[in-house]
Every structure is written in structure tokens, then in C-alpha cells.
Amino acid sequence: MIVVLNARFETKVRVECQQNTTIKELKEKAKMETGTPVEKMKIRKWWTTLDDDKTLRYYRIGDGDGLDLYTYN
């Protein structure tokens, strides 16, 4: 399945993953696309920051769903 991460400046990162992929694994895959270190990323769904140890299935994220990717210093 594909998850779309909406980053700053209208950038969209498409990441191939599975339902049992953790949020930390999702960040690691996004790192390969963006170059941003994992520890400087936050992934949010609506107003909720997603925990690294939870899976996409836990958050009911499916194929084609979009999440917000925030980076900070």
C-alpha cells in the first residue's frame, strides 16, 4: 500500500509500506526520500501526533491515506 506524507511547501512523499509497518519504520522510509533525520520528524493525522511504536493498522491508516509530516530543528 502507499501512504502519502504531506510535507512543507506542498511536497508530497509517497511511501510503500504494509499495515504492520510502525510509525518509526515509516519515518525511516521517508528519511530516504527527504534526507531529514528520523529524530527530527513528527507524523500527524489530523491533530494527533502518531507514536513511533504503533502500527499503521493501529491508527486505521489505509492505502492512499495522507498524513502530515512535520520537521523541526
- pLDDT digit string (tens) for 17-64? 999 999 999 999 999 988 889 999 999 998 899 999 999 999 999 999
Give the H/E segment covering residue 49.
strand 48-49
Give the predicted TM-score (pTM) of the model: 0.86
pLDDT score of 7: 84
pLDDT score of 38: 92
Distance CA 8, CA 69 (A): 8
pLDDT score of 17: 93
pLDDT score of 60: 94
pLDDT score of 35: 86
